[in-house]
Structures are given as structure tokens and as C-alpha cells.
Amino acid sequence: MDKPKVVLGVSGGIAAYKACELLRRLTESGHDVRVVPTESALHFVGAATWSALSGHPVSTEVWSDVHEVPHVRIGQEADLVVVAPATADMLAKAAHGLADDLLTNTLLTARCPVVLAPAMHTEMWEHPATQENVATLRRRGAVVIEPAVGRLTGVDTGKGRLPEPGEIFEVCRRVLARGAVVPDLAGRHVVVSAGGTREPLDPVRFLGNRSSGKQGYALARTAAARGARVTLIAANTALPDPAGVDVVPVGTAVQLREAVLKAAADADAVVMAAAVADFRPAVYAAGKIKKKDSQDPEPITLVRNPDILAEISTERARSGQVIVGFAAETDDVLVNGRTKLERKGCDLLVVNEVGERKTFGSEENEAIVLGADGSETPVPYGPKEALAETVWDLVTHRLA
């Protein structure tokens, strides 16, 4: 089989050097990559580097090899176009359909999925002109990856960093695997909660659980690759931020509730993958609880936490919003799952049978997704990404 053809567009920003790593990952994983830099990109990384790493000639304008009509052919033949970094100028040109060099021509002639990974200073990213261009591109079906927050060129920090090449590569891999030209979650805002809440007893101790957050992160990552704007509410996780996802860190169930309610206000779908503590200590000791010799330990009194899933399901922020819950069951999985689905009032409930090999923190999962409409979708034992894709399939079906 022919290798999938990827066009790596590089526009003129300091993050161009990170595109070399992305190029390496793409070629080493069996993709035929043609690099199309802009003239300004070559100020940062020279044509020789792109050519040597990709094994193809490199040109920035349409006047080389004119007999091969490169300004049309490169775009037409591509299975994926990814632009990393995409500068504010590149986003503006792409949104307005300008075609004054080889890369912008390629973007106009491409009929395959397009991934854009913007990188620029925070002010440029936040400018209404850029935001409107991004919204236009997303509406048309391009996957625009949200920039990361961190150190920018020079000493300043903020939103605008190019996500790590490995993360951009993951988005490309997923977009290519789906092959859909217009991603099915384009223009949608989805909220995912992940991890496990911690309920403090005193400044050093808490009641918590062993949820790693991996399933929630897989949901966030796959939704971003399907074109959604994603808010990931992460409770006590230690995982790298997925590319293109807004991460809101929280600690307790009460903080998780606040963050979910805020993000859900304009969301098309909410997936509650977080393990939320049902109870919290009634009293928080401002100072560390000390043991006293010859005295039995004090019992811990607990009070109930709000049931966030039930609350957002019964008082929907928007009509047509799709709400998904998760449940772990040890026995009578289907019966208990159905009862829980009804009690919570959500549209879908992903029921995990917890058993010996299905431990917290593992890379795999197995589940049945129950629908309020009576449907049952079994998901065989496999990567958490596969379960995530099934959840989004069921969500997009309901959104449509």
C-alpha cells in the first residue's frame, strides 16, 4: 500500500524548529511527507533541513517545477495537510482564501482533512481578528489546535505556545485514521471531566480515589481530533495536557461542580468521566490533626457531596445537550447500570465492569454503553481511545 501523503506546512515563527521533530515522527511512522514552508519560515529553519529530513525537494513559491503544476498537485494529492506552526498571518490568509505562495495555494486546493497548529504571542492569539479567523476555519471543518500555555519567545509566558510535536502528531494520526474531511465534532464545544476528586481532612491529608484520569484524557484528545473545542476539567491528574484542549485543574468535588457548571453553560455535550467522591469530611481542620497518645482516633464524620451528573442532567444548560456518565459496577452490570442511568437522568452511561485485570491506571478498558433510548453498545477490551471514539460516535449521533 502507498504511504499516506502528508503535507507539512511551516509558517514563519520561532516554533518552526519544533516542526522538525513533528516531521521526523511523521516519516518514521510511515508517512510520505512533503514540507511546504513559507518564505519567512526559512529564516528560522533552512530548506536543506526540510529537504534532508523529508527526502523531497522544498520550495516556497509556485514558480519552481511549473510543468508539474505544484500549486495544485501537492494539495490535491494530499491525505492530510498540517500546518505547524501556523502564524496569525497564515491563519488570516487561510481564513480569507489568499493564495500568494505555495503553502496558501496548497491549502486552497486540498480536499483532505486540514490540521492547523497556531503559535504566536498571547496578544496576537487573543486579538478578535485572529479569533474570528480561527472560528471561520473551524466552521469550515479545519481542526485548529488550541495553543499551549507556557514560555513564549523571549521572557514572556502565556497562551500561544506550539503544543509539543508528539501531541500534534497524535492529533494528525487520529485525523488521518478517521479520514473524514469535515470532522464530525467541528463547531461543537464539549466538556470532559477526568481524574478523581480529593476531599481534604486537614492541610496534609485527604480522602481520595485511584482514578488516573487516562479515560477522560483519551476522551478529550479524541474529541479535539474530531474538531471539537474541548474543556477538560482535570481533578488531581498527573498527565500531560493534550494538544488543543483547555485544561481546568480542580481539587475537590465542590470545585469540580463549579467548573463543570460554568463550562457546561454553552456546551453541546458533557462527559463525566471523573471519579467524584460521594462524601467529604464534615469538618476541615485548619491545622494538622495530631495523634494523642492513649487516645483512640476520632471518627471522621462525612457529609454528602452534590451529585453533579444528576444535577446537569435534570437541569440542562441547553436544550439538546448530550450528557454522558460513567459507572463502575462489580456485579449485575446491566441491571445496576440501567437503574443508575434512570436515577441520574443522563443520555448515555458507560458501564465498566470492575474486576481483576481492569485496574485503575491501565491503558485498556472494556465497557457497555447504555442509552436512555434502551440501546446497548458493547465495547470490547481494548485501548481507552477506542472506548472514547465509541462514546463520541454515540454523542454525535444524538447531536445530529
For residues 125 and 159, is the Cβ–Cβ distance under 8 A? yes
d(CA 281, CA 301): 6
Whether residue 307 is annotated as binding a ligand: the answer is yes
Of the candidate residues 308, 341, 369, 387, the single one contacting ligand CTP (CB under 6 A): 308
Nearer to ligand CTP by Cβ, of 36 and 324: the residue is 324
Q: Would residue 150 be called left, alpha or beta, if left means φ above 0 and alpha means ψ between -120 and 50 degrees?
A: left
Peptide linkage before 242 cis (omega within 30 of 0)? no
Residue 288 assigned to a binding site: yes
209 part of the active site: yes
The reply on whether position 333 binds ligand CTP by CB under 6 A is no
> Looking at 274, 333, 348, 395, which residue binds ligand CTP (CB under 6 A)?
274
User: In the complex with ligand CTP, which residue's Cβ is closer, 234 or 327?
Assistant: 327
Minimal distance, residue 295 CB to ligand CTP, in Å: 33
Picking from 320, 325, 1, 86, the residue whose alpha carbon sits closest to that of residue 188 is 320
d(CA 385, CA 364) in angstroms, rounded, equals 9
- Cβ distance to ligand CTP smaller for residue 180 or 254: 254
Binding test (CB under 6 A) with ligand CTP, winner from 328, 368, 386, 399: 328
Residue 307 interacts with ligand CTP (CB under 6 A): yes or no: yes
CA distances from 335 to 270, 288, 329 (A): 24, 44, 10
Nearer to ligand CTP, 168 or 220 (CB): 220
- Interface map 132-151 toward ligand CTP (x if CB under 6 A): --------------------
Of the listed pieces 27-35, 63-71, 135-143, 323-331, which binds ligand CTP according to CB under 6 A?
A: 323-331
Tell me whether residue 3 is annotated as binding: no
Q: Would you tell me the crossing angle of helices 47-54 and 16-28 to the nearest 10 degrees?
A: 10
SS3 content of the chain, % helix, strand, coil (to 5): 35, 25, 40
DSSP 10: E
Give the x-and-dash track for 276-305 against ligand CTP (CB under 6 A).
Answer: x-x--------------------------x
The answer to whether 42 touches 10, Cβ cutoff 8 Å, is no
* Closest CB 336 distance from ligand CTP, rounded Å: 7
Secondary structure string (H, E, C) spanning 142-211: CEECCCEEEECCCCCEEEEECCCHHHHHHHHHHHHHHCCCCCCCCCCEEEEEEEECCEEEECCEEECCCC
CB of 304 to ligand CTP, least distance (A): 8
Please pick, among 105, 133, 209, 336, the residue that the annotation labels catalytic: 209
Is residue 353 a contact point for ligand CTP (CB under 6 A)? no
Contact range with ligand CTP by CB under 6 A, out of 46-54, 88-96, 157-165, 319-327: 319-327
Residue 50 has φ and ψ, to the nearest 5°, of -65, -40
Among 86, 116, 218, 309, binds ligand CTP (CB under 6 A): 309
**Strands laid side by side in the 114-118 sheet:** 32-37, 5-10, 80-86, 114-118, 143-144
326 is in an annotated binding site: yes
Contact with ligand CTP (CB under 6 A) among 22, 234, 250, 327: 327
Q: Does 272 bind ligand CTP (CB under 6 A)?
A: yes
**Distance separating alpha carbons of residues 311 and 270, to the nearest angstrom:** 12
Asked whether 139 and 228 are in contact (CB, 8 A), the reply is no
Residue with Cβ nearer ligand CTP (138 or 257): 257
What are residue 380's phi and psi, to 5 degrees? -65, 160
Cβ atoms 148, 45 nearer than 8 A:
no
Residue 163 is labelled as binding a ligand: no
In the stretch 56-85, what mask flags binding to ligand CTP with x, by CB under 6 A? ------------------------------
Applying CB under 6 A, the residues found at the interface with ligand CTP are 253, 272, 274, 276, 278, 305, 307-309, 325-328
Q: Which residues are catalytic?
A: 209
Binding-site residues from annotation for CTP: 278, 288, 306-309, 326, 340, 344
Binding-site residues from annotation: 278, 288, 306-309, 326, 340, 344
